[in-house]
Amino acid sequence: MRRITIFGATGSIGQNTLDLIGRDPDAYQVVALTGDQNIAQLARDAIAFNAELAVTADPARLGDLQAALDGTGIEAAAGPSALIEAASRPADWIMSCIVGSAGLAPGLRALEQGTSLALANKESMVCAGPLMLATAKAHGAAILPVDSEHSAVFQALIGEDMSAVERVIITASGGAFRDWPIEDLAKATPEQAATHPNWAMGQRITIDSASMFNKALELIETREFFQIEPSKIEAVVHPELMIHALVGFKDGALMAHVGPADMRHAIGFALHYPDRKSLPVERLDLVKLGKLTFRPADETRWPALRLAREVMATGGLAGACFNAAKERALDGFIAKRIGFQQIAVVVEEVLSRVSAHPGHIDAAITLDNVIDLDHLARVRADEIMNELEG
């Protein structure tokens, strides 16, 4: 039996992971499942999968979790230190699918244990890519990408020499507002932004798809994960979202990964790697599909893409600053403190104010420095949002 832990089990990726594991229950022992506010779901899954431990990220919800697990023999724990403790428990495979920079510390701890890490939490790579790679290397742990584009690139690169790679193209749906006139974006609401044309995902990544901050994070994730020069990485809008990414080689060949939008493909690939096993995903009917279309990823419509280029050019902890500013600005948009187009305004201004002082973005890429900068960027984002409101 393979020992499995899922960080962020109650979310969209976590539930898809449990769906796959539940299809072959004799093959897996669930060590720990973690969640945050959805205690009922966390307890239900911990019981259904006979987990050893359930953890909520929120210490104030420990009593609720204990009550929900009363009499089951499943351990209950809460708070950031409990997440780290869960990551320290021996496992063969850990899924990192917490949303946001909160996923970084547990993922790093899992790598320190030498555990294979399936990484949906792109923020880990954006905030601390070099630290993630160095930790994995030092402890002989594999990091398997779960973001669909990065899983696609990873698969296209199997058996290839990186020196033969000329470019990497990741696709974007364009999100909820891809067909809106730019003039209308100012009045876009969080409810409208949270409706994705292709994928069913968590609320935050769905809004990030509409603003293209998701793709901006993914450009940086591509750079960090595969160590590819930023000038070789492109994004293209592909409304059908059947091609997830393409790798171009120096002989002109372009290898595409094609398939219906179902995260269980990328999750299942990471679960069974290096083997390929049958997965319950729809098989593509090319004739029914008919045609695939592409449009430019316009940096005027989606300034997040331009900011991602700046972040990659700056390097260091710019990714951590960018991500935290985006997370806080997204909170502000969801709370209707700022408008849709102001998300990028806030992020750009945070980057500019934090960069103005040496010792932050150019600090060493350590977990402590990422946490400090993450905090600073959120404080700056709040200041800027207050100024915009006032």
57 binding ligand NAD? (CB under 6 A): yes
> Which residues inside 272-331 make contact with Mg ion, applying CB under 5 A?
none
Segment near ligand NAD (CB under 6 A); pick from 5-13, 176-184, 252-260, 314-322: 5-13
CB of 222 to Mg ion, least distance (A): 10
Q: Under a CB-based contact definition with an 8 Å cutoff, are residues 297 and 237 in contact?
A: yes
Residue spans of beta strands (DSSP E) within 15-85: 28-35, 53-56, 75-78
Q: Is the dihedral of CA 203, 115, 259, 298 positive or negative?
A: positive
Q: Is 61 a residue that touches ligand NAD (CB under 6 A)?
A: no
99 vs 365, beta carbon nearer ligand NAD? 99
DSSP code at position 282: P
Q: For residue 122, what are the contacts with CB-CB under 8 A and spacing of at least 6?
A: 147, 150, 217, 218, 221
* Helix ranges (DSSP H) in 231-366: 264-272, 286-289, 303-314, 318-334, 342-355
36 near ligand NAD (CB under 6 A):
yes
The residue sitting closest to ligand NAD, measured at its beta carbon, is 11
Q: Are 307 and 216 in contact (CB under 8 A)?
A: yes
Closest C-alpha among 126, 269, 270, 120 to residue 205: 120
Q: CA 17 to CA 24: how far, in whole Å?
A: 12
CB of 291 to ligand NAD, least distance (A): 25
- Per CB under 6 A, 99 contacts ligand NAD: yes
- Residue 216 in contact with ligand NAD, rule: CB under 6 A: no
For the chain, the distance separating the N- and C-terminal CA atoms, rounded to the nearest angstrom, is 58
Instruction: Give dist(CA 30, CA 47) in Å, integer.
Output: 10
Taking CB under 6 A as the rule, does residue 136 contact ligand NAD?
Answer: no
Choice between 64 and 147, CB closer to Mg ion: 147
Q: Which of 74, 104, 117, 120 binds ligand NAD (CB under 6 A)?
A: 120
Q: Does 98 bind ligand NAD (CB under 6 A)?
A: yes
Q: Which of 141, 156, 233, 263 binds ligand NAD (CB under 6 A)?
A: 263
Q: How far is the CB of 94 from Mg ion (least distance, A)?
A: 20
Among 45, 123, 224, 349, binds ligand NAD (CB under 6 A): 123
Mask: binding to ligand NAD, 137-176, rule CB under 6 A, as x and -? ----------xx----------------------------
CA atoms of 353 and 113, how far apart (whole Å):
37
Cα gap 3→338, rounded to integer Å:
44
Phi, psi of 297 (to 5 degrees): -90, 95
Out of 66, 115, 121, 155, name the contact with ligand NAD by CB under 6 A.
121
Q: Which of residues 109-148 bind Mg ion (CB under 5 A)?
A: 147-148
Query: Strand 165-172 and strand 254-258: pairing?
Result: unpaired
Applying CB under 6 A, does 326 fall inside the site for ligand NAD? no
Contact segment (CB under 6 A) with ligand NAD among 60-68, 118-126, 232-240, 317-325 equals 118-126
Kindly report the three-state secondary structure assignment for every residue of 328-384.
HHHHHHHCCCCCCCHHHHHHHHHHHHHHCCCCCCCCCCCHHHHHHHHHHHHHHHHHH
Indicate whether 14 belongs to the interface with ligand NAD (CB under 6 A): yes
Q: Site map for ligand NAD, 220-239, x if CB under 6 A?
A: --------------------
Binding residues for ligand NAD (CB under 6 A): 8-14, 35-36, 57, 97-100, 102, 120-123, 147-148, 199, 201-202, 204-205, 263
Binding residues for Mg ion (CB under 5 A): 147-149
